[in-house]
C-alpha cells in the first residue's frame, strides 16, 4: 500500500512538472537543477529555490517601493534590481517570470513608469503563481520520499 502511495505521488509530481513545462512556466534549466541534485547534495533544488524565493521577494518589494515613490526617477536602480531578478529567474528555469522581466526592463529603459507599473503587477502575479506551484511540487516530493522511505524496510 505504501509502495502504491509513493508511485502515485511520483505520478502526481510528474504530471505537475509536465504541466509546468508545457505552460512555459519552467524550462530546461530546471532540469539542470534536478540533475545537480544527488546524494552529496540531496536537497539542492529546494535549497536553491528557497534562496530564490527569499531574494525575489526582496527584489519585488524593492521594485514596488521604487515605483510607488512619487518622485521616482531612478530607472537605473530599477534596472539593476530587474537584472538580478532576471538572472536568478533564468538560473532556476523560471521562464515566464524571466520573460516578464524582459518586458519590464524594456519599459524601464524607456522611462515608462506606467508600463513599469503594469509589468510589476504582472511580475508579481507570475511570481506568485510560480511559487505556489513549486511549493506544491516540493510537498509532493516530500511526501513521496517519506512514502518511499517507509517502504524500503518492509522489502527487507
Partner 1 sequence: MTVERAISEPKDQFPVGMRVLAVDDDPTCLLLLETLLRRCQYNVTTTSQAITALKLLRENKNKFDLVISDVHMPDMDGFKLLEHVGLEMDLPVIMLSANGDTKLVMKGITHGACDYLLKPVRIEELQNIWQHVVRRKKFDRKDGDNSGSQDKPHIDNGGAAGMGSVDQNGKLNKKRKDQNEDEDEEHDENGHDNEDPSTQKKPRVVWSVELHRKFVAAVNQLGIDKAVPKKILELMNVEKLTRENVASHLQKYRLYLKRISCVANQQANMAAALGSADSTYLRMGPLNGLGNFHTLAGSDQLHNAALRSFPPSGVLGRLNTPAGLGVRGLPSPGMIQLGHVQNSGNTSNDQSKLQSFVIPGNHNANTLQGMPMSLELDQLQNNKGVSHIGELPTAANTTVFPVSGSLMDARISGCSNNPLLGVTSNSLMLEGSSQQTTLHPSNLRDSVSTMGFQNGNTLSDFTSIATASNQLQCSKADLQCQASPTSCNAGQIIRSAPPEWNAPYHSNVMCCSINSSIPVNGAMVPLGQCLDQNNPNFHRNMDLDSIAPSNFVDPKSLKRSEGFNSAMEPAVIQKEGYFQPRPQGGYNVGSLEDLASAMMKEGPDTRKLADGDFGCNGYSHRTCI
Q: Kindly identify the residues of this chain, within the stretch 11-70, that bind partner 1 according to CB under 8 A.
A: 19, 22-25, 29, 32-33, 36, 41, 44, 47-48, 51-53, 55, 57-58, 60-62, 64-66, 68-70
CA dist., res. 70 & res. 62, Å (int): 14
Which of 34, 83, 139, 142 forms a contact with partner 1 (CB under 8 A)?
83
Size of site (CB under 8 A) for partner 1: 72
* CA-based nearest residue to 11, from 148, 104, 150: 148
Cell of 24: 512555459
* Least distance (Å) between residue 27 CB and partner 1: 9
Cell of 38: 544527488
* Least distance (Å) between residue 146 CB and partner 1: 21
Task: Kindly state the DSSP code that residue 118 receives in the 8-state scheme.
Answer: H
105 forms part of the interface with partner 1 (CB under 8 A): yes
Cell of 117: 507599473
Residue 104: how many other CB atoms lie within 10 Å:
25
Binding window for partner 1 (CB under 8 A); candidates: 2-10, 118-126, 141-149: 118-126
Q: Which residue, 106 or 150, has its beta carbon nearer to partner 1?
A: 106
- Paired strand residues for 26: 94
Which of 4, 11, 31, 128 forms a contact with partner 1 (CB under 8 A)?
128
Could you tell me the CA-to-CA distances from 40 to 36, 61, 89, 149 in Å, in that order?
10, 34, 24, 18
Three-state SS at 94: strand
Q: Which residue, 19 or 152, has its beta carbon nearer to partner 1?
A: 19
Which of 6, 119, 137, 147 forms a contact with partner 1 (CB under 8 A)?
119
Amino acid at each position: 500500500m505504501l509502495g502504491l502511495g509513493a508511485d502515485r505521488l511520483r505520478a502526481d509530481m510528474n504530471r505537475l512538472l509536465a504541466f509546468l513545462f508545457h505552460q512555459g512556466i519552467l524550462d530546461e534549466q530546471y532540469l539542470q537543477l534536478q540533475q545537480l541534485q544527488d546524494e552529496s547534495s540531496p536537497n539542492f533544488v529546494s535549497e536553491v529555490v528557497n534562496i530564490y524565493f527569499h531574494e525575489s521577494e526582496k527584489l519585488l518589494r524593492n521594485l514596488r517601493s521604487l515605483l510607488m515613490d512619487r518622485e521616482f526617477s531612478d530607472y537605473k536602480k530599477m534596472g539593476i534590481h530587474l537584472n538580478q531578478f532576471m538572472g536568478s529567474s533564468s538560473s532556476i528555469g523560471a521562464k515566464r517570470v524571466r520573460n516578464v522581466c524582459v518586458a519590464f526592463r524594456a519599459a524601464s529603459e524607456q522611462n515608462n513608469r506606467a508600463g513599469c507599473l503594469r509589468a510589476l503587477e504582472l511580475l508579481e502575479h507570475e511570481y506568485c503563481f510560480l511559487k505556489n506551484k513549486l511549493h506544491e511540487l516540493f510537498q509532493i516530493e516530500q511526501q513521496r520520499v517519506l512514502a518511499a522511505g517507509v517502504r524500503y524496510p518492509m522489502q527487507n
